[in-house]
Amino acid sequence: ETSKKIAVIGGDGIGPEVTAEALKALRAVAGEDAFEFVDYDLGAERWQRTGEVLPDTVLEELKHVDAIVLGAVGAAPGSKSIPSGLLERGLLLKLRFAFDHAVNLRPSKLYPGVPTPLSEAVVSKGEVDFVVVREGTEGLYCGNGGAVRTGTPQELATEVSVNTAYGVERVVRDAYERARARRKEITLLHKHNVLVNAGSLWNRIFNEVGEEYGDVERRYLHIDAAMIAMVVNPSQFDVIVTDNLFGDIVTDLAAAVTGGIGLAASANINPSGEFPSMFEPVHGSAPDIAGQGIADPTAAISSMALLLAHLGRVDQAIRIDAAVAADIAARGADAGSTTEIGDRIAAQLA
């Protein structure tokens, strides 16, 4: 068996710190020869040194790898030296769009013993274990809009959400397939009472495709009401499907109620397989804790389970999930440093 090529973009802040632990786990479970890792020096430091965010030559090279592992990119909000969103749009979103990462998969599971802001009464309602299927290539993320009379009292700024029948249908189908393989329940989150154009498109396709999945129970919730549901009884969710921005927001809340952003993994999947998929924690570069060795690498490690499953190594994916679950269960109030957590999980996997 030839080794698969994995591009590694550690990125900024805690990105490289958590990525190192993720690769440790990957090597421990798959063996030293399963993957060839190729490091890409991209992010704030590269931009400051060369003015490059993601050179075309690098984008072309990345096209041919088997998967991409990303830490995080982005400067501290309010940074004076790096324009807001420069790296996020120029690198992260660029990759999601260029490689057609239509399915942004974000599982959430509340492991026993994990500290959660949910009350005991809420937790006792049932197991919290759901997955958000977030559309990744359309919506308000297309950069479709503009501003006129900038800086004047008459300034007008627009962001136009792009939703295509093609784009909505493929992510909705993907979500139904996942629901069928899970507890056979699916919820569409949108706001079709206000966003009538995009909302009707999503709603119609959700119902039409749903007719083909008679075994899957479907329902609709307005996104605002879903925020309540996520906090008062998240056990009601199995598969959630939603657009790009609603999906961004709901997955941070989902992370917060299931043990924190340090545990939340994600996969950016190219459904056709034409381009490499990308695996990354949901969190960002966390400038407030960067360089201290205290970032939780669990999300990055769990993202490697999603990578392994995507590459057909399902047994190894299950082993990572089990090792993570065991480690989380055994953690005290202080989980330990970034490398301590990574070493413990890798040791279980070796």
Q: What is the DSSP letter of 92?
A: I
Pattern 253-282, ligand NAD, x by CB under 6 A: --------xx-----------------x--
Given 33, 39, 288, 315, the residue binding ligand NAD (CB under 6 A): 288
Query: Can residue 289 be called a binding residue for ligand NAD (CB under 6 A)?
Result: yes
Query: Can residue 74 be called a binding residue for ligand NAD (CB under 6 A)?
Result: yes
Residue 86, classified by CB atoms within 10 Å of its CB into exposed (0-12), middle (13-18) or buried (19+), is: middle
Name the binder of 289 from Mn ion, ligand IPM, ligand NAD, none, CB < 5-8 A by kind: ligand NAD
Question: Exactly one of 39, 224, 288, 315 is catalytic; which is it?
Answer: 224
Closer to ligand NAD by Cβ: residue 234 or 287: 287
Query: Can residue 44 be called a binding residue for ligand NAD (CB under 6 A)?
Result: no
Closer to Mn ion by Cβ: residue 28 or 133: 133
Q: Are 174 and 211 in contact (CB under 8 A)?
A: no
Sign of the CA dihedral running 285, 291, 296, 299: positive
CB of 114 to Mn ion, least distance (A): 21
Closer to Mn ion by Cβ: residue 116 or 285: 285
Query: Can residue 92 be called a binding residue for ligand IPM (CB under 6 A)?
Result: yes
Quote the Cα angle for 241-286-246, to 5°.
20
273-312: which residues touch ligand IPM (CB under 6 A)?
Answer: 282, 284
Whose structure tokens read 């992010």? Answer: 43
Question: Exactly one of 33, 39, 252, 288 is catalytic; which is it?
Answer: 252
* Active-site residue, 252 included: yes
Give the count of residues interacting with ligand IPM (CB under 6 A): 7
* Active-site residue, 220 included: no
Q: Which residues pair with 177 in a beta bridge?
A: none
| CA 319 to each of CA 22, 208, 225, 348: distance values in angstroms, whole numbers, following the listed order | 14, 37, 36, 9
Query: Can residue 248 be called a binding residue for ligand IPM (CB under 6 A)?
Result: yes
188-217: which residues touch ligand IPM (CB under 6 A)?
Answer: none
Q: Which residues of 40-57 are buried (b: 16+ CB within 10 A; e: fewer)?
A: bebbbebbeeeeebbeee
Query: Can residue 345 be called a binding residue for ligand NAD (CB under 6 A)?
Result: no
Which ranges in 296-337 belong to alpha helices (H)? Answer: 298-310, 314-330
Q: Which stretch binds ligand IPM (CB under 6 A): 88-96, 196-204, 216-224, 328-336?
A: 88-96
Which ranges in 114-195 belong to alpha helices (H)? Answer: 120-123, 165-181
Residue 291, classified by CB atoms within 10 Å of its CB into exposed (0-12), middle (13-18) or buried (19+), is: exposed
CB of 207 to ligand NAD, least distance (A): 32
* Active-site residue, 224 included: yes
Question: Exactly one of 141, 176, 238, 296 is catalytic; which is it?
Answer: 141
> What is the distance between the alpha carbons of residues 180 and 239, in angstroms, rounded to a whole number?
9
Pattern 88-127, ligand NAD, x by CB under 6 A: x---x-----------------------------------
Contacts of 197 (CB under 8 A, 6+ apart): 163
Q: Which stretch binds ligand IPM (CB under 6 A): 16-24, 87-95, 153-161, 286-294?
A: 87-95
Query: Can residue 22 be called a binding residue for ligand NAD (CB under 6 A)?
Result: no
Q: Are 230 and 122 in contact (CB under 8 A)?
A: no
> What is the distance between the alpha carbons of residues 10 and 17, in angstroms, rounded to a whole number?
8
* Active-site residue, 66 included: no
Binding residues for ligand IPM (CB under 6 A)? 74, 88, 92-93, 248, 282, 284
Active-site residue list: 141, 191, 224, 248, 252
